Structure 1
Amino acid sequence: MKKVVIIPDSFKGTMSSKEICDIIGRTVKKYYPDCNIVSVPVADGGEGSVDCFLTAVGGKKVYVDVKGPYFENIRAYYGIIDQDTAVIEMASCAGLPLVEGRENPMKTTTYGVGQMILHAASNGCKKIILGLGGSCTNDGGTGAAAALGVKFFNDKNEEFVPVGGTLKDIAKIDISGKANILDGVSITAMCDIDNVMYGSSGAAFVFAPQKGADEKMVKELDNGLMHLSDVIESDLGVHVSNVPGAGAAGAMGAGMLAFCNAELKMGIQVVLDTVNFDKLIEDADVIFTGEGKIDGQSLRGKVVVGVARRAKKQGIPVVAIVGDIGDDIDGIYDMGVNSIFSINRVALPFEQARKRSKSDLESTVDSLLRFSKLNIGQD
């Protein structure tokens, strides 16, 4: 092998995508020391997205003081790549780890995300890639919008910054005061889900429980999102509720559509476009990709499938190395994946298996490469 491209998602709770790239890369070098290794660590919009982009294409970190999930002062950062493109992950100021032990999506805000968007625009960024993932919020992006100058009023004509529990109180939305510095700035929101804004498959019912919501809160949050959708439609003339991805990050996907005219795209597609993947894989002998578990959900366009579809157009074989293999994956082979290997070498519960995931990954790749050197059937 002369050229190998490595582009995995993280194995959540075990290894980052960069660690996976490093392990696969050095194992390939054992058997093919002259091989050109091209590593592209991937994050689909959640925690680690900025670092992955900076590792893949270079750039710099910019630190900024913003509001955290409970309006407290925190320090966060975003990345600048290609001089005028900012990469922001909402998890850096509105992520679940920031509220560990005090989760409450009725009260958390995305206000800090809006502050980061403004800071990036003031830094001359004309394109913003916004990662929607790992949030602790359910405010429909209203907090971020408020930071950008959008005004929300209750039925007493009092201005306020909505949170999940007060979306029901929004009587009027005024976007005339949105910061002029955002004119000409395009926002692409990365999400790896296609959930709609509200309802049984919406943001509250599907994701709010993992953010600390009980059954009663879920219903209240869902009703709040439904009300927000109605006001957006009435005051702004924008229909967002049924757009795939609108439910991402506590329905921040819907908010970015309504208040910033953002484009919602699957995270892997944004990554592949940004790193110029189609050009990057030219002349590659094989592509290694992977994710923590591959199953029927993977067919909806996550990392492995996104990579495979692009590679198939150029006839480049794709090997998926994963933690676990679920059911209903036969269709993935038609999408460009040539083979799938699990690193689960022993039958152990996850909490035990995760402790040996790095060595198991290396052993799996080692076995695969040993086989590749056999040249079976050749003279």
Structure 2
Amino acid sequence: MKVVIAIDSFKGCLSSLEAGNAIKNAIASLVDEVIVVPIADGGEGSVEAMISAIKAKKREVLSLDPLGRELKTNYAYVDNQAIMEMASSCGLTLLDENERNPEQTSTYGLGLMIKDALKLGVRKFIIGIGGSATNDAGMGMLKALGFEFYDEFKNPLAPKGKNLAKIASISDLNALKELKECEFLVACDVNNPLFGKSGAAHIYGVQKGADSAMIERLDMGLRNFSKITSEFFGVDNSNLAGSGAAGGLGFGLVSFLGAKLQPGFEIISNVVGLKDKLVGADLVITGEGRLDYQSIMGKTPSAVAKLAKTNANVTVIALAGAISDGAKSCNECIDAYFCIQQGAISLAKALKPEVAKANLSAVSLQALRLFLASKSAKDSHH
């Protein structure tokens, strides 16, 4: 009997590989074959998943945080391909609550990461763009890569959300020549346009620290950036699904770097070869830190289940550290899900890696025993 474990990381607790191995160690003696496939959906944990799955190397790089302070971060690379999470240099979690201000934040740090990879000979990029603290439409990233932005008096503008409204012209004269040889695949799981009521500022501005007046100003800035960019390139990407992702970074990547936006799970599952590894599986175990109403919307557990269900006889079980009422919709594609907690416990204790591993081991073993018992009953019935 073959079991495939493809479980997302438990945020702030276990990587995808650590969670997968905890389950494998618990069940291996009861089945013929267990395969652990590190997996993620383009958000936090994607770089770790790729390092584990395709033997990529981790590279530490000096970059800048969203407010321009020096920061050590890292990305993964193998051969001429790099995998980056924009949140590692431009993420909301890098700022204290009182520092959040999308008029002042910038994606410059991501540009420095790309520039570093270009020097290594990297020409294929996979970039996850979830969790941003920015609303600069990629202006910072582009500035780091050599693009210039000027106001109506030909003064160069600092690359931050506040200055999008002042851009009157663009220059690509100093843009890095290597960019022309590059392919950018962007893991993007939202379909917002750049501006308007469903756009970057209106939908995500509040969580980044904007009040209603700032949201209006940011939205006007995105409209202006779109207008100037569209005139410069002769094509308008502002209504493209996902152009409003990460404060408009989706728009900047597509318009300036010819990037393709694709659901994060699709990109990562292709790279790690999940589809092939699922062939012939009798049971698939997936999951994430928390199962809720969002889990059915392309998040790792439901995406793994849908891919697995192309093989008609497979059973899919999901394990999670916490489960909310909204998780019931997961039963559309997941046969059963279980919370791993063994009793009343504080969140701080539940997040201790050794506790989470023990809980995953205990519950996965019982879930497997139930599966084997029902399989045995079915076989004897036939």
115, 119, 130: which one pairs with 1:118?
Answer: 115
| 1-structure distance, mates of 2:297, 2:237 | 21
**Runs of at least 5 residues in structure 2 that lack an aligned partner in the other structure:** none
Q: What residue number does 1:366 align with?
A: 365
302, 313, 327: which one pairs with 1:305?
Answer: 302
Query: What is the deviation of 1:345?
Result: 6.0
Structure 1 contact 152–173 (Cα < 8 Å) conserved: yes
| 2-structure distance, mates of 1:214, 1:18 | 40
Q: Give 1:308's aligned amino acid.
A: A
| Greater mean deviation of Cα atoms: 10-19 or 122-131 | 10-19
- Alignment of 1:98 with 2:98, yes or no, is no
Identity %: 35
Query: What is the deviation of 1:233?
Result: 1.9
Q: 1:178 to 1:234 in 2, by over 3 A?
A: same
| Greater mean deviation of Cα atoms: 100-109 or 15-24 | 15-24
- Alignment of 1:202 with 2:203, yes or no, is no
Q: Trace 1:53-92 onto structure 2 (pairs within 5 A).
A: 53-81=50-78, 83-92=79-88
| 2-structure distance, mates of 1:50, 1:197 | 26
**Runs of at least 5 residues in structure 1 that lack an aligned partner in the other structure:** none
Number of aligned residue pairs = 373
Query: What is the deviation of 1:257?
Result: 0.8
- Secondary structure of the residue aligned to 2:153 is coil
| 2-structure distance, mates of 1:266, 1:229 | 23
Q: What residue number does 2:261 align with?
A: 264
Query: What is the deviation of 1:266?
Result: 0.8
Q: What residue number does 2:43 align with?
A: 46
| 2-structure distance, mates of 1:174, 1:13 | 41
Q: Give 1:207's aligned amino acid.
A: Y
| 2-structure distance, mates of 1:79, 1:15 | 18
- Secondary structure of the residue aligned to 2:309 is helix
| 1-structure distance, mates of 2:361, 2:72 | 36
Q: What residue number does 1:376 align with?
A: 377
- Secondary structure of the residue aligned to 2:83 is strand
| 2-structure distance, mates of 1:285, 1:357 | 25
| 1-structure distance, mates of 2:68, 2:21 | 38
151, 163, 166: which one pairs with 1:166?
Answer: 163
- Alignment of 1:234 with 2:231, yes or no, is yes
| TM-score between the two structures when normalised by the length of structure 2 | 0.88
Q: Trace 1:348-363 onto structure 2 (pairs within 5 A).
A: 357-363=356-362
Query: What is the deviation of 1:346?
Result: 5.4
| Greater mean deviation of Cα atoms: 178-187 or 210-219 | 210-219
Structure 1 residues 34-73: Cα deviation after superposition (integer angstroms, max 9, x where no partner): x433222333333332222101111212222223322233
| 1-structure distance, mates of 2:300, 2:308 | 12
Structure 2 contact 16–45 (Cα < 8 Å) conserved: no
| Greater mean deviation of Cα atoms: 17-26 or 358-367 | 358-367
294, 318, 321: which one pairs with 2:319?
Answer: 321
Q: What residue number does 1:132 align with?
A: 129
| Greater mean deviation of Cα atoms: 183-192 or 365-374 | 365-374
| 1-structure distance, mates of 2:190, 2:174 | 31
Structure 1 contact 89–131 (Cα < 8 Å) conserved: yes
Structure 1 contact 294–326 (Cα < 8 Å) conserved: no
Structure 1 contact 129–188 (Cα < 8 Å) conserved: yes
Q: 1:354 to 1:50 in 2, by over 3 A?
A: closer
Structure 2 contact 108–159 (Cα < 8 Å) conserved: no
285, 289, 309: which one pairs with 1:288?
Answer: 285
Q: 1:154 to 1:52 in 2, by over 3 A?
A: same
- Alignment of 1:275 with 2:276, yes or no, is no
Q: What residue number does 2:138 align with?
A: 141
Q: Trace 1:246-265 onto structure 2 (pairs within 5 A).
A: 246-265=243-262
Query: What is the deviation of 1:350?
Result: 6.0
| Greater mean deviation of Cα atoms: 280-289 or 267-276 | 280-289
Q: Give 2:294's aligned amino acid.
A: Q
Structure 1 residues 136-191: Cα deviation after superposition (integer angstroms, max 9, x where no partner): 11111110011112111111111223211111111112234321111221000112
Q: 1:120 to 1:361 in 2, by over 3 A?
A: same
